[in-house]
Amino acid sequence: MKKIILISLILLVGCTKMEIEPTPPPSTQNIFSVKESRVTDGQEIHFQLSTAGVYTLTLIDKENGQVVSRERFTGQSGKNIKKIYTNSIESQYLYLLLEDVTKTEIGKTTIITK
């Protein structure tokens, strides 16, 4: 009986889930429709554009207002999917800003990177 208990304990311990935070699955929700999102490196972000054209996505440090990264891209009308990379970014709290070619704000939300 003791052996059974011991083996059960070993199995139980062996099967204990490791405390590693899983990478959240990509959200298909429009990222600009929520106030803030926690993202991991390489995570997909989704957003809608009403017309095709040239847009920019900008990451701004919330603490000091400085732009830390900006990408210019050609967007398509309707749903757009982009990845967001965080390994090179030192700030934890950022604004994600979507603007069109005239620098008109299309969407803005908060990103938490760590």
Which residues contact another protein (rule: CB under 8 A)? 41, 56-57, 59, 66-73, 82-90
Residue found under tokens 């429709």 = 33
Nearer of residues 70 and 79 to another protein, judged by Cβ:
70
What region, left, alpha or beta, does residue 97 occupy, with left being phi > 0 and alpha being psi -120 to 50 degrees? beta
| Least distance (Å) between residue 49 CB and another protein | 14
Which of 77, 74, 39 minimizes the C-alpha distance to 57?
74
| Least distance (Å) between residue 58 CB and another protein | 9
Nearer of residues 10 and 107 to another protein, judged by Cβ:
107
